[in-house]
């Protein structure tokens, strides 16, 4: 009350300080309880329970796109399909589909979609995947927050976890990161975002986040495999993420490329047997007229296959 009457008082900052003080008082208690012992586990429990193999959110244990308990980041320029993939994953979490880009998705309970970046455009894109019979499930299991959040994460690092708990959501989608972090190149601001990210994951919710990439430089190799330094902002964005996928292509292109720049389980170089199996699958798609085949120039033996379909599917 005293601080609120001071000149230049910031209500959001006062609320954050008050909440912090209340949390501290509530957490005080005997040794081993309260805030000092709430998340502490013994060493055996840590290595056996935290390290236990759990089904991934998206993919298989051998090829994981999105791991449970770790955030997944989709990166790319505007208009290449980040929201399209995100919307397919949302619909799969709601039980409307089983596969996304050929990999299975584990169904969830309720999704909280933070549509902070052009909500009307997000609504139009998601509408293409929705049927009239889906109304009941969408009303009950999908919550959309349209527009900016009420405060910033550096002021309230628990905000994402509180939002998920308030809406009983086990999945949170950030669309997009630039609309939730004040300065993407500031270590302190990005550090606050990462703390909020980890608080959300520790609360038991899963997290999917959309982000943009740096502008291509003059010395960038055309068609080269993108690396994590293409992600815009400080290194703490990708350091705190469990999985990072980067989309390459131009806005509106019918064909784009998806690269798994940071993997969860690690993807070793494919064996000769795996390569031959992939060749047979691609040859079958080509013979079924679901893909085209182009020989690389310069006498190379490499062949590039491209999907004929105009919607998001995996062909290799």
Mean pLDDT, contiguous 10-residue spans, the chain (316 residues): 80 73 55 68 85 84 92 93 94 97 96 95 95 97 95 87 96 95 91 95 96 71 76 93 92 85 74 82 87 72 72 51
d(CA 147, CA 281): 43
| Residue written as token pair 């509106």 | 252
Question: Do the Cβ atoms of 155 and 11 come closer than 8 Å?
Answer: no
In sequence order, the β-bridge partners of residue 246 are 75, 259
pLDDT for the residue numbered 316: 47
Cα distances (angstroms) measured from residue 228 to each of 36, 57, 74, 297: 36, 22, 12, 28
User: Dihedral (C-alpha) 175, 119, 87, 279: value to the nearest 10 degrees?
Assistant: -70
The tally of CA atoms less than 13 A away on the side-chain side of residue 155 is 14
The encoded tokens of residue 58 equal 């998206």
Residues whose CB falls within 8 Å of the CB of residue 60, separated by 6 or more in sequence, listed in order: 103, 104
The encoded tokens of residue 6 equal 């001071």
The encoded tokens of residue 186 equal 């500031």
What pTM did the predictor assign? 0.77
Question: Do the Cβ atoms of 148 and 118 come closer than 8 Å?
Answer: no
Name the nearest CA neighbour of 85 among 112, 103, 71.
103
Question: Do the Cβ atoms of 154 and 188 come closer than 8 Å?
Answer: yes
d(CA 16, CA 53): 37
């Amino acid at each position: 009350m005293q601080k609120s009457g001071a000149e230049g008082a910031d209500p959001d900052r006062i609320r954050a300080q008050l909440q912090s003080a209340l949390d501290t008082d509530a957490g005080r208690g005997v040794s081993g309880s309260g805030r000092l012992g709430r998340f502490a586990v013994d060493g055996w429990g840590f290595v056996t329970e935290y390290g236990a193999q759990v089904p991934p959110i998206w993919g298989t244990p051998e090829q994981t796109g999105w791991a449970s308990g770790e955030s997944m980041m989709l990166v790319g320029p505007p208009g290449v399909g980040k929201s399209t993939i995100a919307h397919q994953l949302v619909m799969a979490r709601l039980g409307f589909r089983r596969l996304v880009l050929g990999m299975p998705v584990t169904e969830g309970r309720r999704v909280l979609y933070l549509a902070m970046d052009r909500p009307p455009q997000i609504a139009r894109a998601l509408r293409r995947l929705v049927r009239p019979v889906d109304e009941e499930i969408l009303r009950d299991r999908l919550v959309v927050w349209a527009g900016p959040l009420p405060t910033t994460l550096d002021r309230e690092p628990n905000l994402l976890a509180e939002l998920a708990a308030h809406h009983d959501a086990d999945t949170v989608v950030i669309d997009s990161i630039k609309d939730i972090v004040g300065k993407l190149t500031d270590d302190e601001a990005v550090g606050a975002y990462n703390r909020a990210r980890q608080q959300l994951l520790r609360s038991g919710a899963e997290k999917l986040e959309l982000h943009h990439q740096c502008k291509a430089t003059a010395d960038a190799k055309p068609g080269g495999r993108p690396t994590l330094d293409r992600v815009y902002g400080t290194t703490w964005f990708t350091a705190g993420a469990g999985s990072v996928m980067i989309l390459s292509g131009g806005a509106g292109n019918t064909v784009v490329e998806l690269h798994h720049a940071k993997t969860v389980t690690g993807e070793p170089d494919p064996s000769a047997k795996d390569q031959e199996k992939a060749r047979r699958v691609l040859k079958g798609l080509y013979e079924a007229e679901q893909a085209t085949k182009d020989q690389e120039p310069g006498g190379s033996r490499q062949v590039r296959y491209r999907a004929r379909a105009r919607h998001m599917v995996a062909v290799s």
